[in-house]
Structure 1
């Protein structure tokens, strides 16, 4: 059965200019990968936000947007909008332009739809923070990547991992024609997708990597790094001087490595999702670059008037047994230094949300809980508040971006120090990936555990939180350890050891 019904259309058409039409079928054993392969086997027209392993409240849904009707790209004040066959180039403030585009859509309210049913999928790079704060420009912008890149899709396949349903959605954009004709076209398209999903077979050829050791052998991969070990240690020492002087309490310093890749990025994603499943996985193919991501951390979610952020600070590897994991979790949650750093970052996030939430509504509804992921355990908190009626999602972005857990505290001063000490611009790393819905919905995760693939090379960045007692010579390895899953994935794919 289709929702809404044809009889309901006439009334709904008076309430807005965009109507989601959908049908549900059992999920069975389908995954985003099997659906892509069954539809046409090409990843070029798909933009995937996938939830792998994680708590139900953040890993319930996966979203597969396909056949985007518009792409928004910006670098500085240069904006390019590609819509069907038309390319529009203009100069202006990209966030204002993006907001104006989003404001054109007035979706009607349809029952029983998930939090995202259509809109824009993409990323904000770390350097979008320059639109919010005046920062120096010391680091080299060697890759010259777009700072904002979003694909607009009115066709979405939703994987509800809790209800075990597939929801196939086609949005009627009423400016395109008569509502009855659009409804018939949507039904035909949805029927075609369901036929392809239920009528085709798919054999998953990627082997199980759940028990694979992530340890990475540097001799297995020819890679470059933005820092040498000695250079990174020197940067850590300088950061500690700033801490000693009282400029900052903590700063996140990162190193970028890059390696050649000859296999296609979608194969790399297929392996990574098995090797290191995470709540916020993503595969974005923009043509000029591809993003393969397995982030564990939510930056911000805004739904139904509630805005929340979920900082992660404090990590240990999982043990080989449940008892070992439990012991490591107990040590982590009771470690004085880990607790102090986590509380500091929770306070930072409370202050960030206070910029956009109603006075007195900001609360920490989960404080320092242990969450288990595929290979690690984290200390996680949840901060939430009621969005002020005069604020929107772009105000939220201004308030929380970039995330405090991957800059440091206080945020602006640490961003200045990052620009001084890191030799290259961060690009998407520590920015945000996610969706902006046709309504006011927004969910963005922090871009960590992520690779950017461009011109035959994969760029991977990882960092360490530097505090007053950090040991400079150890922080380089600590940073690279966070990139192990990505580097291991490239090694496995390049060596052909995946089937």
Structure 2
């Protein structure tokens, strides 16, 4: 059922609040960012016909069987710690969220939006009327939230210097070092937080995911992996600069980012890693870099984005192709296993859903997954609220500047809670 609506923004707002009335929902919004690989403006999936939940061990095998049995729409997320299933790794760091490493569900109802056209499958007419008649109760108040952090500024910068000593020794070339900000015994309105976050920081891979009282509130600018026909696309982000209200200054910041040796170095290192990952799934000779050092501008930051593509081997399932590239190189480092091993040693909390991916498998055989960054994770039962931020550490990294980059990436979240975190 396809219906056109005159006020698509009003429809989306109603649909999002309507979706929250279901036990499980996944809302993904591109916020009108159009790329050559864009397929939908918005996807809204609600209700749970069936689901799969798993932790590292045989999670990808369970997902492959689940996908084979459910060839229509399937939505879900992959947690970073699935790395422990792919490689000989382990995670012993603090985890107060208790999210599974993998969760996917088959929705009862799904709505896709492209322009002013809404296509609804599953209880079509009733769903349309329910959404159109839905009167969302808008919460305009947030409980005060005070975030603690696992590292002080000095501890973080000292750790960066220790990590750089591994680079000098040749253990790694580049890594993504992350830190957690958290709040315990905290009650929030997850949807209000998401609405405020996306108003402050609209991004092309934004998402709101709810299941079993858990929430991922995501303002991601980055695509992990997509499939269009037989083509696989990865678009790693490495390289960050702040925005400025002055147009001339803002343009200068773009130029500085585009020509900064450290930013270029970290981007090309990760592009090489992604190219190597994709060769494991690719028809020989088809891996190529479509764009190197592209600049994309968002409300809070400018980012350096590259695009790497390949043709997928026919003997490889979609789940296998995802597994062979997971976790995404932009959140690990190079060499990949060495970087992940070191970060387990130096980081002080389990990443969990952060550095993982949210996305979908569609009935036509395509899929699309983001990178879970710039995201809040919330367990409403334990009342634990958390987010991570990280930065790329290379030989040329300045520890103080890397810490400031973490705060820059966290800026939108702090603004949501009117918190000025400058520790």
Q: Is the 8 A contact 2:52 2:66 kept in 1?
A: no
The DSSP-based 3-state class of the residue aligned with 2:282 is: coil
2:372 pairs with one of 437, 447, 455: 447
Distance in structure 2 (CA, Å) of the matches to 1:57 and 1:469: 34
Matched, 1:25 2:4: yes
1:125 match? 79
CA shift in 2, pair 1:323/1:354, >3 Å: same
Distance in structure 2 (CA, Å) of the matches to 1:206 and 1:62: 24
1:149 match? 103
CA shift in 2, pair 1:58/1:313, >3 Å: same
1:68 match? 48
Matched, 1:413 2:338: yes
2:62 pairs with one of 87, 97, 113: 97
Distance in structure 2 (CA, Å) of the matches to 1:53 and 1:410: 36
- Deviations along 1:197-226, whole A, 9 cap, x unmatched? 44566697769xxxxxxxxxxxx8522212
Query: Could you state the TM-score of these two structures normalised by the residue count of structure 2?
Result: 0.90
1:259 match? 183
Gaps of 5+ in 1: 1-21, 78-92, 107-117, 171-188, 208-219, 493-499
Distance in structure 1 (CA, Å) of the matches to 2:404 and 2:181: 12
2:33 match? 54
Matched, 1:247 2:171: yes
1:488 match? 415
Deviation at 1:336, TM superposition (A): 2.3
Alignment length (residue pairs)? 412
Q: Is the 8 A contact 1:36 1:43 kept in 2?
A: no
Deviation at 1:167, TM superposition (A): 1.0
The DSSP-based 3-state class of the residue aligned with 1:268 is: helix
Query: Could you state the TM-score of these two structures normalised by the residue count of structure 1?
Result: 0.77
Q: Is the 8 A contact 2:11 2:131 kept in 1?
A: no
Distance in structure 2 (CA, Å) of the matches to 1:202 and 1:125: 31
Matched, 1:194 2:144: no
CA shift in 2, pair 1:45/1:488, >3 Å: same
Deviation at 1:26, TM superposition (A): 3.1
Is the deviation greater in 27-36 or in 303-312? Answer: 27-36
Q: Is the 8 A contact 1:140 1:424 kept in 2?
A: yes
Q: Is the 8 A contact 1:318 1:328 kept in 2?
A: yes
Q: Is the 8 A contact 1:333 1:339 kept in 2?
A: yes
Gaps of 5+ in 2: none
The DSSP-based 3-state class of the residue aligned with 1:463 is: strand
2:154 match? 230
The DSSP-based 3-state class of the residue aligned with 1:351 is: helix
Q: Is the 8 A contact 2:14 2:132 kept in 1?
A: no
Distance in structure 2 (CA, Å) of the matches to 1:447 and 1:103: 25
Is the deviation greater in 449-458 or in 471-480? Answer: 471-480
Distance in structure 1 (CA, Å) of the matches to 2:274 and 2:75: 24
CA shift in 2, pair 1:40/1:105, >3 Å: closer
User: What RMSD, in angstroms, separates the aligned Cα atoms of the two structures?
Assistant: 2.3
Q: Which of 1 and 2 has greater Rg?
A: 1
- Deviations along 1:173-211, whole A, 9 cap, x unmatched? xxxxxxxxxxxxxxxx2112223344566697769xxxx
Q: Is the 8 A contact 1:248 1:414 kept in 2?
A: yes
Deviation at 1:27, TM superposition (A): 5.5
1:111 match? none
The DSSP-based 3-state class of the residue aligned with 1:388 is: coil
1:318 match? 243
The DSSP-based 3-state class of the residue aligned with 2:323 is: helix
Summarize the alignment of residues 260-275 of structure 1 with structure 2, pairs less than 5 Å apart. Answer: 260=184, 261-275=186-200
- Deviations along 1:305-329, whole A, 9 cap, x unmatched? 1101001111112221333222211
Distance in structure 2 (CA, Å) of the matches to 1:31 and 1:129: 39
- Deviations along 1:406-457, whole A, 9 cap, x unmatched? 1111111100101111122111111111112345322111110011111223
Q: Is the 8 A contact 1:27 1:159 kept in 2?
A: no
Matched, 1:467 2:419: no
